[in-house]
Structure 1
Amino acid sequence: MSNAFPPQWVSQVNQSLEVWGAWHSGEIEALEDVHQGMGKGLFSGGVMGALRRFWWGTPATPGQTSGKLHVPLAGDIAEKSANLLFGSLPRIRSEHQADTDRIEQYLEDGLGNVLREGAEHSAALGGVYLRVAWDTSISDRPWLTVVKPDLAVPEFSYGRLTGVTFWRVVLDDGKTVLRHLERHSPGLITHELWSGDQDFLGSPVPLTNHQETALLEPEIHTGIDQLTVVYVPNIRPNRLWSNTPEAAYFGRSDFAGVEPLFDALDEAWSSLMRDIRLGKARLLVDNTMLDNLGPGAGALFDTDQELFVRVDMAGAVENGQLPIKEIQPDIRVEKHLSAIEALTKQIINSCGYSPQTFGLSGEVAVTATEVEARTEASRSTRDNKISYWSPSIAEIIQAMLAIDRVHLGAPGLEALRPKVAFPEAVTPDMEKTSQTVMNLRAAQAISRYQAIAIAHPDWDDQEIITELARINQEQDAQEAPAIPNSSDS
């Protein structure tokens, strides 16, 4: 690693991550900072010029309040993505029963919550790291933590993660920057503390130089031959960095390429609210209708006054005007809402989801088949993401089991790679499924094994075989001939 930190290619990647992170957070200050060049100082040249051309890149007129509002659709999309994946937890089973029992304990400890959290960050930032942690003073079991990609320097080899360095700033006093570097490689975790500045890593210093790193061991030998970290890409390929070798295997954010539409949606919503604000009824009142409050105190018009004293209206009549004129501007509600709805649907479609998933369809689906048809895009995106999450979960759970066995002394573990099965996105219509199975069985078109597989699509081979054995056993018992009673002879 060069002394410039983060490395140049990481800084380039983090430019996009900062933009996506701002949209994900929904914080107006973050959106203004990142588009107006007041963020982390990562932007320059054409990138900064492009951001400033956004509506959020236009600063407010001096002396006026901003009046900019944000529709948190980006955050909703990332949250919906996580819920589609982990609204119902996947089944994680091992061929070794002790491993399966231990995995159940991990789930009881909140493993599912960590996976859902990671999935939301992954949808927004294009990927996420899952890291195994353990500390006997905290728990007798290991657990997973989520690390966002803007705090990591990964090492890939032919698309496989071979090592990663996580970093965090533990001290920044404006001059000196202390960074904690945590590097993971197969069989080894190292901790280092570096003293530098905003742009350079500087030189290593003892871990005891800061309280947050003082208790860390410089080297931890994991005792296993695999990483204790996995990188879960959101969706590949990442079109932005396909020509950057170090970042070519990063995932693609749901927001990639959709940022201008997010910007336009906020502009349209703010325009509607501006119309409402400016559309308040107002009265233009002639000076003769005002109550003089005295020298230097100005004048006022009491809108609640019921009785007005006759005044000289000659001046107003000569000009063809009345001394009081009401102004009620039109509020273009329908036009604004139409534009907002069109932008919202386009954003959802561009992010890979169906408007029905967000409740934007005017029709109500009655059956599970109709729901599945109208949410095809969301289901396809979910299936695509599952293809990355499933092997990643299996890999990191295997690492957890291995750490559990080596460092925490969990008895009976084999640390085998488990199987991960995600449930169906749409609950099947059991009545329709059973009728289909009955018809196929009557036509002798499928075996009993296949019938069970259709009825229970989330079961693995062993579970199907076990159920088939039970059915055969029950049927044999029913068909067994009755033994005659000796008294009947």
Structure 2
Amino acid sequence: MPIPEQNTAWPPAPWDEAYKAYALNEAWQLGDTATLERLYSSDRQAAATHTHRGQAYRGGLVGAASKMFWGRPVPANENRTRIHVPAPADLATLSSDLVFAEPPEVSLGTDSTEKGKARLDLIANSEAAHATWNTMGELKAALGATVITSAWDTDVADHVWLEVAAADVVIPVFRRGVMVECTMWTEYREDRTQVVYRHLEHHEVGAIEHALFRGTETNLGRRVPLQDRPETAGLAGLVNEDSRILTGIDRLTCSYNPNMPTRAWRKKGVLANTGRSDYAGLHGLFDALDETFSSWMRDLRQGAGRILVPDAMLDYLGPGMGAAFDMGREVFAGLNSPGKPGELMIDKVQFEIRVEQHERTAFALYREILRAAGYSQSAWGDYSGGGQGGTQTATEVDDRNKASERTRDKKILYDRAAISRQASVALELDGKLFPGKGGGRFEQPTVIFPDVSQEDPEKLARTLSLLDAAGAISLWEKVARANPDWGEDEIKAEVGRIREDRGTAPDPATFDGDDEDPEDPEDA
């Protein structure tokens, strides 16, 4: 989609449908209960106005949304307990941690230059890049997709870097499932007015066009000079007469990175190529979890002990001031019930706090959320005690943990392709913008993710011990498996130290790191 015409609806169809879903997912991720109430209440009102033969529709998204906990109206003057549990945010964080807690390594082939490798490290292997990947992991898990963009500013850094935009600020154009252009946008709002400025950044092969519009909440409005906003004024001196910045390369400066293949929109034209959020199909479970904890807290509030006393026990404070009860007073008069002189009119109220029932319900919802999202039940702690019972073997526990690893492997397929493609573009741009520093066009980089993110040290130790007992692993490989981030020199040095401690050190003049000596008792 090129830069739209003036005074067109925003967001443009059919992306207006997608953006409603993005807004709902964002509200769940942020725990924005005010937005959740507004979105579900508006759906409830829509359900009331959409009728068939005089009857409100019961099925479909609108009918279902109107029954949600966050969509139910609260009567006036009623203090109803409502609590949000940040399970959606935790789910997005879990996804990012599984994939990017240990960063991937982006590397060039052996025929590349050392300067080229050093520039790629700045672009894709630095701590800043690692932070970007963590952000990307959370955004695409919550919203369904992200776009990786090559960015530069000679006043900020002397190299190109990679940025990430979430799906709710991107309108992509796909051809045969591949993004061939896209428009990203940012909003700026004027205080105490209905005016909305939108900066549109259109990426196409060889150029990036910038445009600024002054409109309203739902209308793009008219195009105005970039100088009209301080945030975009700096671009005015960089664009040409067509408001474009020419990149000098024949590739797109952004790459689409879906979270998972879409389900709901697979028959809806351009939306079929968008990604699927981890929240897909889970809104009802999130809502039920919030209702469960809200009910639990309501029990806690109502379970506070209260006493009922007759008026004679109250000390009146004066006209319009009400009355008070003195808990320290020792003598009271006139407390007998009429007709029952031996019975005092004092009672207590103590409602039951249903801790076990609420806890088991919450645990069941947690387990179902994790299962439906494709993660292991133990990902948030072991909730299997909420009713399953029994002792599980190590093999059963390991099988339960496989779900998270399978989901991680599927997500990495998309991450690897998008990171590799845009790292290559960024490196080529780097060579154009900063000549002589090592960037340029090289072969496509490879992206290698660790086998298992943050492998359990105890599990790893047992695995290595079993392999060692079976004579199926060398000392070199044991050190490498225990320290996956070490290079060959570090592994070789550690193997030498272990041999020295054991009294099996080989001749330093002939030791080359190959740990396959059949006479070594430690490796037999």
TM-score normalized by the length of structure 2: 0.79
- Quote the residue 2:67 is aligned against: 53
Q: Spell out the pairing of 1:283-302 with structure 2 (5 A cutoff).
A: 283-302=307-326
Match of 2:340 in 1: 317
User: Equivalent residue of 1:415, what SS?
Assistant: coil
Question: 1:114 corresponds to which residue?
Answer: 132
* Selected match of 1:88 from 98, 102, 120: 102
Kept in 2, the 8 Å contact 1:421–1:458? The answer is no
Q: In 1, Cα distance between the equivalents of 2:398 and 2:117?
A: 32
Q: Which position in structure 2 is the counterpart of 1:354?
A: 376
**Relative to structure 2, which stretch is displaced further, 143-152 or 179-188?**
143-152
The residue identity in structure 1 corresponding to 2:412 is I
Change (3 A) 1:456 1:340: closer
For residue 280 of structure 1, what is the aligned residue in structure 2?
304
Superposition deviation, residue 174 in structure 1: 4.4
Deviation of 1:423 (Å): 0.5
Per-residue CA distance 1:156-182 (angstroms, 9 max, x = gap):
001101000011223456454332110
Give the CA deviation at 1:312: 5.2
Aligned twin of 1:252: 276
> In the TM superposition, what are the counterparts of 1:370-449 in structure 2 within 5 Å?
372-409=398-435, 411-416=437-442, 417-425=444-452, 426=455, 429=460, 432-433=463-464, 436=467
Q: Note the residue ranges of structure 2 that are not aligned, 5 or more in a row.
A: 51-59, 493-505, 517-524
User: CA 1:458–1:132 in 2, change beyond 3 Å: closer, same or farther?
Assistant: farther
2:37 maps to: 32
Residues 1:8 and 2:9 aligned together:
no
Match for residue 98 of structure 1 among 104, 112, 115: 115
Against the structure 1 CA distance between its residues 435 and 66, is the aligned structure 2 distance closer, same or farther, given a 3 Å change threshold? closer
Specify the SS of the correspondent of 1:213.
helix
Q: Give, in angstroms, the shift of residue 408 of structure 1.
A: 2.2
Cα distance between partner residues in 1 of 2:304 and 2:27? 33
**Alpha-carbon contact 1:180-1:194 (below 8 Å) kept:** yes
2:130 is paired with a residue whose SS is helix
Secondary structure class of the residue paired with 2:234: coil
CA contact (8 A) 1:434 1:455 kept: no
Q: Which one-letter code corresponds to 2:277 in the other structure?
A: S
Q: Report the count of equivalent residues.
A: 462
Identify if the C-alpha distance between structure 1 residues 177 and 431 changes in structure 2 by more than 3 Å, giving closer, same or farther: closer
On the 8 A contact 1:99/1:415 being kept in 2, the answer is no
> What displacement does 1:456 show?
5.9
Distance in 1 of aligned mates of 2:514 and 2:377 = 52
Cα distance between partner residues in 2 of 1:408 and 1:345: 51
Identify the residue that residue 145 of structure 2 maps to in structure 1. 127
**Cα distance between partner residues in 2 of 1:99 and 1:316:** 100
Given that 1:165 and 1:181 are in contact with CA atoms closer than 8 Å, whether structure 2 keeps it comes out as yes
For residues 282 and 452 of structure 1, do their structure 2 counterparts lie closer, same or farther at Cα, with a shift above 3 Å needed? closer
Residues 392 and 276 from structure 1, CA distance in 2 versus in 1: closer, same or farther, beyond 3 angstroms? same
CA contact (8 A) 1:184 1:229 kept: yes
Structure 2 CA distance for aligned equivalents of residues 69 and 21 of structure 1: 18
Between the aligned residues of both structures, percent identity stands at 33
8 A Cα contact 2:43 2:65, kept in partner: no
Q: Write the distance in 2 (CA, Å) between the matches of 1:63 and 1:206.
A: 50
Kindly indicate whether the alpha-carbon contact (under 8 Å) linking 1:153 and 1:165 is maintained by their aligned counterparts in 2. Answer: yes
Aligned match of 1:482: none
Deviates more, 1:73-82 or 1:390-399: 390-399
C-alpha displacement of 1:14: 0.8
**In the alignment, what sits opposite 1:79?**
93
Conservation of the 8 A alpha-carbon contact between 2:181 and 2:203: yes
Aligned counterpart, 2:265: 241
Quick one: distance in 1 between partners of 2:284 and 2:69?
9
SS of the residue corresponding to residue 164 of structure 2 reads strand
Amino acid in the other structure paired with 2:152: W
Matching residue of 2:502: none
Match of 1:184 among 197, 203, 217: 203
295, 300, 324: which one aligns with 1:271: 295
Task: Say which is worse superposed, 105-114 or 422-431, in terms of deviation.
Answer: 422-431
Q: Distance in 1 between matches of 2:211 and 2:327?
A: 71
- Specify the code of the residue in structure 1 equivalent to 2:345: P
More off after superposition, 253-262 vs 107-116: 107-116
Partners of 1:210 and 1:337 in 2: CA distance: 52
Tell me the secondary structure at the aligned position of residue 4 of structure 1.
coil
Alignment of 1:301-340 (within 5 A): 301-305=325-329, 307-311=330-334, 313-315=336-338, 317=340, 322-340=344-362
What secondary structure does 1:63 align onto?
coil
Q: Which amino acid aligns with 2:205?
A: P
Contact kept in structure 1, 2:41 and 2:71, CA below 8 Å: yes
Distance change >3 Å, CA 314–CA 137, structure 1 → 2: closer
Q: Find the aligned partners of 1:421 and 1:387 in 2 and give their Cα distance.
A: 11
What is the one-letter code of the residue matched to 2:120?
I
Deviation, structure 1 residue 13: 0.4
Judge which range, 176-185 or 200-209, deviates more: 200-209
Match of 2:170 among 149, 152, 162: 152
Q: Which amino acid aligns with 2:185?
A: W
**Does the CA-based 8 Å contact 2:81-2:295 persist in structure 1?**
no
Distance of aligned partners of 1:316 and 1:297 in 2 relative to their CA distance in 1, 3 Å threshold: farther
